[in-house]
């Protein structure tokens, strides 16, 4: 970077929030630089998160299907073997293709990419320790902090990413563990637990709450997916907390007890996955040099235009409020740039979908039943099982349901919850409906192609204001 030149925008962090903001800024004609220390672009999501985990989920599901679900389809296969090394290489190929793709998009959109670690020197200057050695400084009229998040550690269990692992170790194990204990039955625990369970591990998930999938997941749906995952071989200990762990010997000992106190038990495992959440990452960023604080959960405090208390410094993505999701980070990247270029940006936080990529998938948008009950909102439910859907039947993949929750008086959609094949793709329609303020009847009177899984979506909507035809 040239020290003299001041950029319109300097972004610290080249994850989804940062790289999307950089491209949008480049497209909008701003002079922009993005500082990333990892050596590759795309952040947690592309390098060690969304993308590698989905590659392993997809391929482990294929293996599981071939092992357990071919005979009844008239497909006879011979010896089936896992080649973990090749499966990991396939994952790496997907990751590399995508991170390089972002680098190409930087060039295409005139984004200056600085490989190094950035820290605030003053309110307009970032000092960069370059990955290749040496230092530089970049000045920005505007600065975005997009430094993301890291796994929350579990006290007493030191992560080595070999047998005491976070998701980063879980996407790179060199052999299939015999026994894996997963601490935390949230999205990471269930996705990565699924991968290793399908590849042959005996997986036990220990979850503090009374349901898996986190509090955002509708309780009815959570119960259903838990049954399905249990049928696939995963074990669950709900309302249970891990009190301590001892990884000093090869067989790791995990002490658990009932969340409300009482019954204790000792679990053993050869790998333990710590998946108790993620926390914002601002270490080494020099926030103290400019007097910026984080809140009690480590988040940078911002206003509705993503401004910190120093208005030309904004924060986006996992490092600030809201769900830690790549598509949320992406929306914020675009909106934050628009606040600079147009004084207006928009993200609808009520219509951000969540997807868990197990099989079947779980996806939802808007509010769930337990939230609406707590708020005293009067609602209606319309649901439709995939077992009554023609395409699911032809696919011999009929587990799950679509569930609409609508305002009892107006029929406006308040939430859509799906557990079933392809739920993650189907939720886009629910998100669009919510974004447009649609009623269930708007969806129910829209033609959906036959035979498709999305007919279950239409029929669940019909059930919310009237009756489904096929159930």
Binding site, by residue number, is 54, 118, 147-149, 184-191, 207, 277, 318, 324-327
Please say which residue, 9 or 188, places its beta carbon nearer to ligand NAD.
Answer: 188
Using CB under 6 A, which of the segments 33-41, 337-345, 367-375, 384-392 binds ligand FAD? 33-41
Element (H, E) at 395: none
The reply on whether position 321 binds ligand NAD by CB under 6 A is: no
**Given 24, 25, 43, 236, the residue binding ligand FAD (CB under 6 A):** 43
Q: Which of 68, 124, 417, 450 is catalytic?
A: 450
Using CB under 6 A, which of the segments 40-48, 63-71, 175-183, 395-403 binds ligand FAD? 40-48
**Annotated binding-site ranges for NAD(+):** 184-191, 207, 277
The reply on whether position 209 binds ligand NAD by CB under 6 A is: yes
Between the alpha carbon of residue 237 and those of residues 183, 209, 259, 300, the distances in Å are 10, 10, 10, 34
Site string for ligand FAD, 371-410 (x = CB under 6 A): ----------------------------------------
DSSP for 337-377 reads: HHHHHTS-----GGG--EEE-SSSEEEEEE--HHHHHHHT-
Please say which residue, 279 or 458, places its beta carbon nearer to ligand NAD.
Answer: 279
| E strand map for 173-277 | 179-183, 202-206, 235-237, 240-246, 252-258, 264-269, 271-274
- Burial annotation 258-279 (CB, 10 A radius, 16+ → b, else e): eeeeeeeeebebbbbbbbbebb
Q: Are 186 and 205 in contact (CB under 8 A)?
A: no
User: Which 353-382 residues touch ligand NAD, going by CB under 6 A?
Assistant: 355-357
The reply on whether position 420 binds ligand FAD by CB under 6 A is: no
The reply on whether position 279 binds ligand NAD by CB under 6 A is: no
Instruction: Describe the crossing of helices 423-435 and 454-465 by its angle, rounded to 10 degrees.
Output: 40
Closest separation in Å from C-beta 29 to ligand NAD: 33
The reply on whether position 194 binds ligand FAD by CB under 6 A is: no
Closest separation in Å from C-beta 346 to ligand FAD: 19
**Given 9, 10, 11, 16, the residue binding ligand FAD (CB under 6 A):** 16
Phi and psi at 400, nearest 5°, equal 110, -175
**Given 45, 57, 180, 191, the residue binding ligand NAD (CB under 6 A):** 191
Element (H, E) at 152: none
Length of the chain, in residues: 471
**For 310, which DSSP code?**
S
Tell me how far apart the alpha carbons of residues 307 and 95 are, in angstroms, rounded to a whole number.
32
Omega before 451 cis (within 30°)? yes
420 binds, among ligand FAD, ligand NAD, none (CB under 5 to 8 A by kind): none
279 binds, among ligand NAD, ligand FAD, none (CB under 5 to 8 A by kind): none
Between the alpha carbon of residue 300 and those of residues 139, 270, 276, 287, the distances in Å are 21, 37, 21, 10
Size of the site for ligand NAD (CB under 6 A): 25
**Given 276, 300, 334, 464, the residue binding ligand NAD (CB under 6 A):** 276
User: Which 173-192 residues touch ligand FAD, going by CB under 6 A?
Assistant: 188
Largest CA distance in the chain: 69
15 binds, among ligand FAD, ligand NAD, none (CB under 5 to 8 A by kind): ligand FAD
Size of the site for ligand FAD (CB under 6 A): 36
Beta pairing class for 401-407 and 135-145: unpaired
Phi and psi at 281, nearest 5°, equal -115, 115
Please say which residue, 206 or 247, places its beta carbon nearer to ligand NAD.
Answer: 206
> 3-state class of 382 per DSSP?
strand
200 binds, among ligand FAD, ligand NAD, none (CB under 5 to 8 A by kind): none
Closest separation in Å from C-beta 39 to ligand FAD: 9
Q: Are 47 and 38 in contact (CB under 8 A)?
A: yes
Bridge partners, residue 129, by sequence: 117, 135
208 binds, among ligand NAD, ligand FAD, none (CB under 5 to 8 A by kind): ligand NAD
* Residue 359 appears among annotated catalytic residues: no
**Which amino acids are annotated catalytic?**
450
User: By the criterion CB under 6 A, which residues form the site for ligand NAD?
Assistant: 183-189, 191, 206-209, 214, 241-242, 275-278, 323-325, 355-357
User: By the criterion CB under 6 A, which residues form the site for ligand FAD?
Assistant: 12-18, 35-38, 43-45, 49-50, 53, 117-118, 146-149, 167, 188, 281, 284-285, 317-319, 324-327, 329
């Amino acid at each position: 970077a040239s020290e003299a030149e001041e950029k319109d925008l300097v972004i610290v962090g080249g994850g989804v929030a940062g790289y999307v903001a950089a491209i949008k800024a480049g497209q909008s004609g701003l002079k922009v630089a993005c500082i990333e220390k990892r050596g590759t672009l795309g952040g947690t999501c592309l390098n060690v998160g969304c993308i590698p985990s989905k590659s392993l989920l997809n391929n482990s599901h294929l293996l599981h299907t071939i092992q357990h679900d071919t005979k009844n389809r008239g497909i006879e296969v011979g010896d089936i073997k896992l080649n973990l090394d090749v499966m990991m290489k396939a994952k790496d190929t997907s990751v590399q293709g995508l991170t390089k793709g972002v680098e190409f998009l930087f060039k295409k959109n005139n984004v200056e990419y600085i490989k190094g670690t950035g820290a605030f020197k003053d309110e307009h200057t970032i000092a960069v320790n370059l990955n290749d050695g040496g230092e530089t400084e970049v000045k920005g009229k505007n600065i975005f902090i997009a430094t993301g998040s890291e796994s929350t550690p579990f006290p007493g269990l030191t992560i080595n990413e070999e047998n005491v692992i976070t998701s980063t170790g879980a996407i790179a194990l060199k052999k299939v563990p015999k026994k894996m204990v997963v601490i935390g039955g949230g999205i990471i625990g269930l996705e990565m637990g699924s991968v290793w369970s399908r590849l042959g591990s005996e997986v036990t998930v220990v979850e503090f709450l009374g349901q898996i999938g986190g509090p955002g997941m509708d309780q009815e749906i959570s119960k259903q997916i838990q049954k399905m995952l249990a049928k696939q071989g995963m074990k669950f200990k709900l309302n249970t907390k891990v009190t301590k762990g001892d990884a000093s010997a090869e067989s790791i000992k995990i002490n658990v007890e009932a969340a409300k106190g009482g019954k204790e038990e000792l679990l053993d495992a050869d790998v333990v996955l710590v998946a108790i959440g993620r926390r914002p990452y601002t270490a080494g960023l020099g926030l103290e040099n400019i007097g910026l604080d984080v809140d009690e959960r480590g988040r940078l405090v911002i206003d509705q235009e993503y401004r910190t208390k120093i208005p030309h410094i904004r924060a986006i993505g996992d490092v600030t409020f809201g769900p830690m999701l790549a598509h949320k980070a992406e929306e914020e990247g675009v909106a934050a740039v628009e606040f600079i270029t147009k004084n207006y940006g928009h993200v609808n936080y009520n219509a951000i979908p969540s997807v868990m990529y197990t099989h079947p998938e779980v996806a939802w948008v808007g509010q769930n039943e337990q939230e609406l009950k707590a708020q005293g909102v009067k609602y209606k439910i319309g649901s439709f099982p995939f077992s009554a859907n023609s395409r699911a039947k032809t696919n011999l993949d009929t587990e799950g349901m679509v569930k609409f929750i609508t305002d009892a008086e107006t029929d406006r959609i308040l939430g859509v919850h799906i557990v079933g094949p392809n739920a993650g793709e189907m939720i886009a329609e629910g998100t669009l409906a919510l974004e447009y303020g649609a009623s269930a009847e708007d969806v129910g009177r829209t033609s959906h192609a036959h035979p498709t899984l999305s007919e279950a979506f239409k029929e669940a909507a019909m059930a919310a204001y009237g009756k489904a035809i096929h159930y």
